[in-house]
Amino acid sequence: MSSTIIVNRQNGIVELCFDRPDKKNALTTTMYEAMADALTDIAGDPSVRVVLFTGNGGSFTAGNDLKDFLANPPSSPDAPVFRFLRALASSPAVLVAAVSGPAVGIGTTLLLHCDLVLAGESARFSLPFVNLGLVPEAASSLLLPRLIGHQRAAQLMLLGEPFDAQAALGYGLVNKILPDSALAAAAWELAGKLAAKAPAALLLTKKLLKSESISVADRMIEEARDFRAQLDSSEFREAATAFFEKRPPDFSGKPKDC
């Protein structure tokens, strides 16, 4: 696939690998489209039991591609990013992620939809939505407080400060930490173990574990409304411009030449 998502299929496992290492695997519209299509196909293919998310080049993903978001803000519920999120949240397959390096924004929020998460020692998670003048997505405003409690979720989401693999293990966001060099093999071994289980029992159990799916879908709609509005805001424009100009953003509202 030319989208910079590599799709590998074998023995009931589909690996979706973010492959844009020069941009820390930041996710473009085309990449979301490829993943939404792949997850939709997988949902209709009972031979697939496990989806494995990985990133190439020492990064999981730097999250949404900010240039792409500035140029092509997702303007409708059918935009690829929202199609991807719905397909992710409703995927019947067991979702496994292997995270090393940066896992920014959606790189962390997509993990809340995964069933098992392995982290390399270099994994560094962050939820910088407010720092970017944006709001959380992927129903993370619902799922993160549920997982770790309101105050800890508020700390991560309001301050947007990065946290490491050890902290993520403590939060219950990841199952296990491994040396980076052992991560890929461990992830494939885990995926293989899952794919060899009794398939109906495996997929039914995953479905039962995800029984909150109705409120998740509603929350994604609410978040998407606010996220789209914030993408149009001067706050996001300032944050993204500041990132590329390598300076801190200025949210004071003062004219820039003051």
DSSP code, position 155? I
How far, in Å, CA of 15 to CA of 181, rounded?
Answer: 18
* Both tokens assigned to 238: 């300032």
230 lies in the site for ligand COA, by CB under 6 A: no
Closest CB 157 distance from ligand COA, rounded Å: 12
Q: Report in angstroms how near the CB of residue 116 gets to ligand COA at its nearest.
A: 24
Nearer to ligand COA, 24 or 86 (CB): 24
Contact segment (CB under 6 A) with ligand COA among 89-97, 102-110, 165-173, 190-198 equals 102-110
Among 5, 26, 87, 144, contact with ligand COA (rule: CB under 6 A):
26
Residue found under tokens 């844009």 = 20
Kindly provide the residue ranges of all beta strands, DSSP E only, lying in 38-89, ordered along the sequence.
Answer: 50-55
36 or 134, CB closer to ligand COA?
134
Q: Does 249 bind ligand COA (CB under 6 A)?
A: no
Q: Which residues contact 224 (CB under 8 A, 6 or more apart)?
A: 74, 77, 82, 137
CB-wise, 12 or 105, nearer to ligand COA? 105
Extract the tokens encoding 177: 């930490």
Contact between 36 and ligand COA per CB under 6 A: no
Using CB under 6 A, pick the residue from 128, 133, 136, 249 that binds ligand COA: 128
* Tokens matching residue 233: 């805001």
Interface characters, 138-157, with ligand COA (x: CB under 6 A): --------------------
Say which residues have a Cβ less than 8 Å from residue 183's Cβ, sequence separation at least 6: 98, 100, 118, 119, 120
Q: 145, 132, 136: which is closest to 226 by C-alpha? A: 136
| CB distance 124 to 160 below 8 Å | no
Applying CB under 6 A, what is the total number of residues that bind ligand COA?
15
* Maximum Cα–Cα distance across the chain: 66
Pairing state of beta strands 94-99 and 50-55?
parallel
CB of 3 to ligand COA, least distance (A): 16
Closer to ligand COA at the Cβ: 62 or 173?
Answer: 62
Spatial CA neighbour of 132 closest among 100, 110, 151, 157: 157
223 binds ligand COA (CB under 6 A): no
Shortest distance (Å) from residue 234 CB to ligand COA: 17
Residues 39-98 touching ligand COA, rule: CB under 6 A, are 62-67
The residue among 156 and 191 lying less far from ligand COA, judged by its C-beta, is 156
Chain position whose Cβ is nearest to ligand COA: 105
Half-sphere exposure of 147 (CA within 13 A, CB side): 22
Q: Which of 12, 74, 102, 136 lies at the binding interface for ligand COA (CB under 6 A)?
A: 102
- Contact residues toward ligand COA (CB under 6 A) are 23-24, 26, 62-67, 102, 104-105, 128, 132, 243
